[in-house]
Amino acid sequence: MKEPELIYLDNNATTPCDPRVVDAMWPYFYEKPGNAASRSHPYGWVAEEAVQQSREQIARLVSADPREIVFTSGATESDNLAIKGVFEMYRRKGKHIITLKTEHKAVLDACAKIEKLGGEITYLDVDQEGLVKLELLDEAIRPDTILVAIMWANNETGVIQPMQEIGAICDKHGCLLMSDATQAVGKIPVNPKATGVHLMAFSAHKMYGPKGVGALYVSRRQPRVKITPQIDGGGHEQGMRSGTLNVPGIVGFGKAAEIAFSDMQSDAARLAALRDQLESALLKRIEDASINGSRKHRLPHVCNIAFKYAEAESVMMTFNQKVALSSGSACTSASVEPSHVITAMGRTSDEAHSSMRFSLGRFTTKEEIEYTIEAIVKGVSQIRDRSPVWEMYKEGLL
Ligand SMILES: *Cc1c(COP(=O)(O)O)cnc(C)c1O
């Protein structure tokens, strides 16, 4: 097999910008430099028109009204704006927020800040497959619950939550539902209105658009949701998020949405086939390998596998990081922590450290998957050959 340069299987961390997206953005750096808020000359009008077109492209992808799209700097900001914005706006109604233990740090850290500000947060457990326990959610909602924040699809495992059922429960209790849909938008059909989701965060760079631009969907009808802005100054984006719009970034985001709208189905089908090829080969050829998270309710291009007693970071070193992957370990400033997502599903810290996330993307090829299979099979076996723990386990001593 031909040696590839570098293989990128970390598309859940960020995706390459689609060349069609880059082409669309290009004119807005120099030829069309206007500020979309400049009302007095054609430069401004041209920029505003481009922003409006993007807003429509993005709205179409998520079946929303263009006026329900608020541009931000990315999903981290959108998550913060939704959670903190609702907390401030609905403070008189209550101070209780419910979320999941497996949420992205942008949601968890925003919730931790709310706790410091006097709010109360319930962090719900998930089941062994990473799915929300619907009865737990139903029981956790109180009269003073102002928001439920549950992600659409998990970034580490690809597990898709039963958003329709979650929406119905929130509706029954009359509380707002926010979803971090960063990994879902552009990959699977997402329709917040039809699902009962009132606020939804997503980001361009996870769907083949540029980094540094994102959106928050804010429902305008049934109900009309209000949030307190977290950035003041000028009243852009209907007063919800001030600041000069990133016009080239927004144009790229719009183009990425347009491409996703037309290519989502075919991309998903192709990637699911490649993912399944990768997954079945690894499970067949490597003993004691198991999937983290639901196989049934999962994004088509993601799989997360634990290889017992083979530390992921060490396995990745055997192929010199030639295949770019994420492990179930997260480096904090002080230490290497096991992934909170994997441990929340009942896995041990060791199992988290021996987990690898494969996230395929639009530009992944069959050859790359074939190379990756060989690299992982060889790597895991090399690490286990040197491992006394694996040996003891094989001898039945563990
Ligand atoms: C990447 C990601 C984010 C952060 O998005 P940015 O645009 O990089 O700020 C938030 N939530 C999820 C689920 C993500 O995957």
CATH of the domain at 188: 3.40.640.10
Considering the domain architecture, whether residues 249 and 120 belong to the same structural domain is answered as yes
pLDDT at 54: 98
Q: What atom of ligand 1 comes closest to residue 203's alpha carbon?
A: 7
Query: Could you give the residue ranges of the DSSP H alpha helices within the chain?
Result: 19-25, 42-61, 75-89, 105-116, 134-140, 163-173, 192-195, 247-285, 312-318, 340-344, 349-353, 366-385, 388-394
Burial class (CB in 10 A: 0-12, 13-18, 19+), 5: exposed
Residue pLDDT, tens place only, 335-391: 889 999 999 999 999 999 999 999 999 999 999 999 999 999 999 999 999 999 999
> Given phi > 0 = left and psi -120 to 50 = alpha, else beta, which region is 130?
left
- Asked which of 231, 258, 285 is the last residue of a domain, the reply is 258
Token code pair at residue 305 = 């596998």
Residue 2, in any domain of the structure: no
Token code pair at residue 357 = 């996330």
Token code pair at residue 16 = 């390459």
- Asked which of 219, 240, 258 is the last residue of a domain, the reply is 258
Amino acid in the structure at residue 396: G
Q: What atom of ligand 1 comes closest to residue 181's alpha carbon?
A: 13
* CATH of residue 339: 3.90.1150.10
pLDDT at 331: 76
Contact 353, 329 (CB under 8 A): yes
> How many Cβ atoms sit within 10 Å of the Cβ of residue 181?
27
Considering the domain architecture, whether residues 246 and 271 belong to the same structural domain is answered as no
Considering the domain architecture, whether residues 272 and 366 belong to the same structural domain is answered as yes
Q: How confident is residue 329, by pLDDT bands cut at 50, 70 and 90?
A: confident
Query: Could you give the residue ranges of the DSSP H alpha helices within 90-230?
Result: 105-116, 134-140, 163-173, 192-195
**Mean pLDDT (whole number) for 394-398:** 91
- Total structural domains in the chain? 2
d(CA 144, CA 9): 43
Q: What atom of ligand 1 comes closest to residue 214's alpha carbon?
A: 7
pLDDT at 110: 98
Determine whether 331 is an active site residue.
yes
Nearest CA to ligand 1 atom 9: 76
Cα 105 to chain centroid distance, Å, stands at 11
Token code pair at residue 205 = 């760079």
Token code pair at residue 163 = 């958003």
Task: List C-alpha distances in Å: 350 to 102, 103, 305, 332, 354.
Answer: 18, 21, 13, 17, 6
Contact 111, 101 (CB under 8 A): no
| Structural domain harbouring 121 | 19-258
Q: How confident is residue 330, by pLDDT bands cut at 50, 70 and 90?
A: confident
Decide: 75 in ligand 1 pocket, CB within 6 A.
yes
Considering the domain architecture, whether residues 181 and 227 belong to the same structural domain is answered as yes
Contact 387, 310 (CB under 8 A): yes
Contact 126, 98 (CB under 8 A): no
Contact 52, 41 (CB under 8 A): no
Residue 386, in any domain of the structure: yes
Residue pLDDT, tens place only, 255-277: 999 999 999 999 999 999 999 99
> How many Cβ atoms sit within 10 Å of the Cβ of residue 164?
12
Decide: 100 in ligand 1 pocket, CB within 6 A.
no
Decide: 206 in ligand 1 pocket, CB within 6 A.
yes
Considering the domain architecture, whether residues 253 and 273 belong to the same structural domain is answered as no
Considering the domain architecture, whether residues 208 and 325 belong to the same structural domain is answered as no
pLDDT at 1: 58
∠ CA 77-82-84, nearest 5°, is 90
Nearest CA to ligand 1 atom 5: 75
**Mean pLDDT (whole number) for 103-126:** 98
d(CA 358, CA 349): 19
User: Which one of 12, 161, 182, 302 would you pick to mutate in the ligand 1 pocket, going by the greatest count of ligand atoms within 8 A of its CB?
Assistant: 182
> How many Cβ atoms sit within 10 Å of the Cβ of residue 128?
12
∠ CA 156-161-164, nearest 5°, is 155
Decide: 209 in ligand 1 pocket, CB within 6 A.
no
Residue 1, in any domain of the structure: no
3-state secondary structure of 229: coil
- For residue 2, the CA-to-ligand 1 centroid distance in Å is 34
Residue pLDDT, tens place only, 17-72: 999 999 999 999 999 999 999 999 999 999 999 999 999 999 999 999 999 999 99
Nearest CA to ligand 1 atom 7: 74
Decide: 216 in ligand 1 pocket, CB within 6 A.
no
- Is the previous residue joined to 223 through a cis bond, with omega within 30 degrees of 0? yes
Instruction: Kindly report the average pLDDT of the chain as a whole number.
Output: 97
Considering the domain architecture, whether residues 95 and 133 belong to the same structural domain is answered as yes
Contact 108, 124 (CB under 8 A): no
pLDDT at 2: 59
Considering the domain architecture, whether residues 162 and 24 belong to the same structural domain is answered as yes
Residue pLDDT, tens place only, 153-198: 999 999 999 999 999 999 999 999 999 999 999 999 999 999 999 9
Whether the predicted model's global pTM rises above the 0.85 cut = yes
pLDDT at 30: 98
pLDDT at 332: 73
